[in-house]
Structure 1
Amino acid sequence: MMDIVVVGAGQAGAALAAKLRTLGATGRITLLGDEPVAPYQRPPLSKAYLLGEMGVDRLTLRADSFWAAHGIELRTGARVTAIDRAAKVVRVGEDVLPYDALALTTGSVARRLPTDLGGVFAVRTLADVDAMKDRFVPGARVVIVGGGYVGLEAAAVAAKLGLEVTVLEAAPRILARVASAETAAFFRDLHRAHGVTLLEGAALSGLEGEGQVEAAVLADGTRIPCDFVIAGIGIAPATALAEGAGLALDNGIAVDAFGRTSDPAIWAAGDCASFPQGAARLRLESVPHAIDHAEAVAANMLGAEQPYVAKPWFWSDQYDVKLQIAGLNAGHDRVVTRVEGGTSFWYFAGDRLVAVDAANDPRAYMVGKRLIEAGRSPTPEAVATAVQAKDLL
């Protein structure tokens, strides 16, 4: 029997704590979250919740009764200020909480614009979205800084609600870090068809206003009047607690294939952790990974000793388009486009299929995912000429 403390009550923390009990952990389990609410889903925040199609009650991951029924002490509004590795305790305000094993599922934090002006928001927490929801009224002018998936999802919601939307992307094109030029062109056309102004190669110089933001100013001096601003400029792993404790970091909290940190009594999972996969070290930012990694680490905390192998997949909802992504496109040198009901983009590194972006094409997504997970690759020519995606299996 051992007492386990889980720091971070997001998707990974909730999954890890629940899995510990499912697997038969008998000691005390304490789940600590620094937000004042129970664990909830983040993806709908920038989509259905912001649109008003999903209430806050539907965001919650588990009913309140779940935690007590499974003997998990959930403490919200509990910010951990330090880890004392020698004493094996965490400090929560004035309280000291001992542990036999500690799991860090601290997730990520939004990168925010450096300004004191009001009316400037990020999209990461429930509080972030609640703070801006009332500004989404027809005719309001919003500038969204960042043309990644979060920024584009926010743009889609704003456009659907009748706002005047401008997206600024400092890179030469939207989705430059995460998708091919072909996928970017698809979404560029989609947003422009909905009246969104997309400015690429448009670096933000600063924000102007008297107390409240009134305009975004570009590096070339262009001034874009606005009523509010949303920063969609990415997230960073939440590593401050681990760093303060002297744990090894490497693009996040460095863990081994089992989820152990440089301290064998401390584990980490989800967005905050980087892990070995093949010859590389990965850190993934997605709900499926957060759950899968957390559950694998929970099993290893109880002695399973099973290496974690990620099977990356992601999604994004914009307007009436559901984008499903299988695999990782890093290192690709060729993209094949298929149109079969929806549109899909197949990424190859040499002759190896490494990823698929499928827009309103669930069959292509499922076929691509099965092929990638099995380590099988049709030729680019076969992908281009197949009558149906299922013919590639």
Structure 2
Amino acid sequence: MSPQEPLVIVGASHAGVQLAASARELGFDAPIVMLGDEPHAPYQRPPLSKGLLSGKTDASQIALRGPDFYREQAIDLRLATRVTAVDVAARRVALADGSHITFGTLALATGARCRELPVAGARLQGVHQLRTLKDAQGVSAALAGCKNACVIGGGFIGLEVASALAAAGAQVTVLESQPRLLARSFPASMSDYLAQGHARRGVTLELGRGVVALHGRNAKVAAVELDDGRMLDCELVVLGIGVVPNVELAEQAGIVCDNGIATDALGRTSAPGVLAVGDVANMQWQCGAAGPSRMRLESIQAANDGARAAASVLVDRPQPLSAVPWFWSEQHDLKLQMAGVASAGDQAVLRGDMASDRFTLFYLRGGAVAAAHSVNRPAEHMLARKLIAQGARIAPEALADPSIDLKTYSALSPISRPAG
């Protein structure tokens, strides 16, 4: 690639910024152009459903990098700039203003958008989604004087928002169509634990309930109608029913997509010279004992790790994605940290007492540690990530025994590691 051919990054996201930063760290010296469709400089998204709503974090504190970073790293950051098309053959992108930018390498970091609620009244005033800084500011403003709020969706975002709204003094009801919370991410024991935790902290849960319609008064939401005929009064509704990857540019360009943009472990797509990173990328992962798997993971760490792998392609020193995926969530006074990806057939082993709100639920697959869910146990979470990466084989009784120091297992090689 000629030094004059720029890397064009579509999406001023966590993944986009990490890709640019990692490229420079690795010695990539061609021009970098980053295009973001929001008017704000790249910012952290986790605080949107956590500190920003609770008032612990101010909007001025969430910038991903200071303004000097882009200048010093020679990154041409263009905000409020929307890409309308990608021409792989001509190696250029079209912008909404009618202009074009030629690229040497293109990176799609287009992220995802909130799934819409397909019922009457979903566009009433007082109905919010939560994906952008503007969204979070809208929810925060609506909280003033709010007595009753409904959160539709019992996933991570929905439960984090419910926690923040409850902390602000609102009476909160979470509506989840599945019979339990986080059914796709957690086993029943963890779902039940979280349901009890939210209920103890004043959040009302309506599980296995669908939403038929939203009803308004003077164009503003006033009630949610459930599929059992009940009407729940509320002045604020926040939607948390999942996201849809923004694959339209890739699809129109003929790039292979499958629940996101399909990539290998280096972020390479089916189109030569085109990478994809972040929430939009369905990447190949190597997850310790779990083996290789293709996943589209919606987490900051996954975005950063995938971006680092993609950056290695730019300098012809490929380092495929191999990090153990991990996630975190704050709900009330509970800090959840998850490592690896649990599967339905895993053997679950509890270390600690759920009633104490301090424990780790380990998952064994073929005798090896494959995943772990920790609550208020940060040190154990860090250790779990090492055990998963090493494919540590530990007897269930040893995992469950708090008197046994698990660090012993992480220090041993896979060959010499005892069964417990």
Normalised TM-score (structure 1): 0.96
Query: Using the alignment, how far apart are the partners of 1:168 and 1:43 within structure 2?
Result: 22
1:102 matched to 2:106? The reply is: yes
Taking the TM superposition and a 5 Å limit, the aligned residue runs for 1:51-62 are: 51-62=54-65
Which letter maps to 1:64?
A: P
- Same amino acid, percent of matched pairs: 41
Counterpart selection for 1:149 from 156, 159, 168: 156
1:377 matched to 2:393? The reply is: yes
Which letter maps to 1:56?
A: A
Alpha carbons 2:352, 2:400 under 8 Å: kept: no
Alpha carbons 1:332, 1:347 under 8 Å: kept: no
Compared CA separation, residues 251 and 310, structure 1 to 2 (3 A): farther
Query: Using the alignment, how far apart are the partners of 2:381 and 2:375 within structure 1?
Result: 9
The residue that corresponds to 2:238 in the other structure is 230
Q: What displacement does 1:389 show? A: 5.1
The residue that corresponds to 2:264 in the other structure is 256
Alpha carbons 2:7, 2:105 under 8 Å: kept: yes
1:50 matched to 2:63? The reply is: no
Taking the TM superposition and a 5 Å limit, the aligned residue runs for 1:1-393 are: 1=3, 2-93=5-96, 94-114=98-118, 115-137=122-144, 140-210=147-217, 211-277=219-285, 278-339=291-352, 342-388=358-404, 390=406, 393=409
Secondary structure at the residue paired with 1:358? strand
Q: Deviations over 1:155-205 (max 9, x none)?
A: 111111110100011101011111122222221122111111011111112
Compared CA separation, residues 363 and 23, structure 1 to 2 (3 A): closer
Count of aligned pairs: 393
Q: What displacement does 1:216 show? A: 0.9
Secondary structure at the residue paired with 1:261? coil
Normalised TM-score (structure 2): 0.90
Q: What displacement does 1:331 show? A: 3.3
Q: What displacement does 1:334 show? A: 2.9
Q: Deviations over 1:105-154 (max 9, x none)?
A: 11111112232212111111101111121122365211001111111100
Compared CA separation, residues 182 and 392, structure 1 to 2 (3 A): farther
Which letter maps to 2:99?
A: D
Query: Using the alignment, how far apart are the partners of 1:366 and 1:12 within structure 2?
Result: 23
The residue that corresponds to 2:414 in the other structure is none
Q: What displacement does 1:332 show? A: 3.6
Alpha carbons 2:53, 2:164 under 8 Å: kept: yes
Which letter maps to 2:203?
A: V
Alpha carbons 1:147, 1:232 under 8 Å: kept: yes
Alpha carbons 1:147, 1:174 under 8 Å: kept: yes
Q: Deviations over 1:13-58 (max 9, x none)?
A: 0010111122222221100011110000000110101111111111
Q: What displacement does 1:256 show? A: 1.9
Compared CA separation, residues 388 and 205, structure 1 to 2 (3 A): farther
Q: Deviations over 1:235-285 (max 9, x none)?
A: 121111111111001221011222211111111111111122355311111
Compared CA separation, residues 237 and 139, structure 1 to 2 (3 A): closer
Which letter maps to 2:400?
A: A
Q: What displacement does 1:292 show? A: 1.1
Q: What displacement does 1:352 show? A: 3.1
Which letter maps to 1:162?
A: G
In structure 1, list runs of 5 or more residues that go unmatched: none
Query: Using the alignment, how far apart are the partners of 2:393 and 2:281 within structure 1?
Result: 30
Query: Using the alignment, how far apart are the partners of 1:125 and 1:291 within structure 2?
Result: 19
Q: Deviations over 1:266-321 (max 9, x none)?
A: 11111111122355311111111111110110111221133222410000011111
Secondary structure at the residue paired with 2:116? coil
Query: Using the alignment, how far apart are the partners of 1:373 and 1:255 within structure 2?
Result: 22
Which letter maps to 1:151?
A: G
Compared CA separation, residues 302 and 261, structure 1 to 2 (3 A): same
Query: Using the alignment, how far apart are the partners of 2:330 and 2:17 within structure 1?
Result: 24
Q: What displacement does 1:392 show? A: 6.1
Compared CA separation, residues 154 and 83, structure 1 to 2 (3 A): same
The residue that corresponds to 2:415 in the other structure is none
Which letter maps to 1:316?
A: S
Secondary structure at the residue paired with 2:251? helix
Query: Using the alignment, how far apart are the partners of 2:10 and 2:262 within structure 1?
Result: 16
Query: Using the alignment, how far apart are the partners of 1:199 and 1:84 within structure 2?
Result: 47
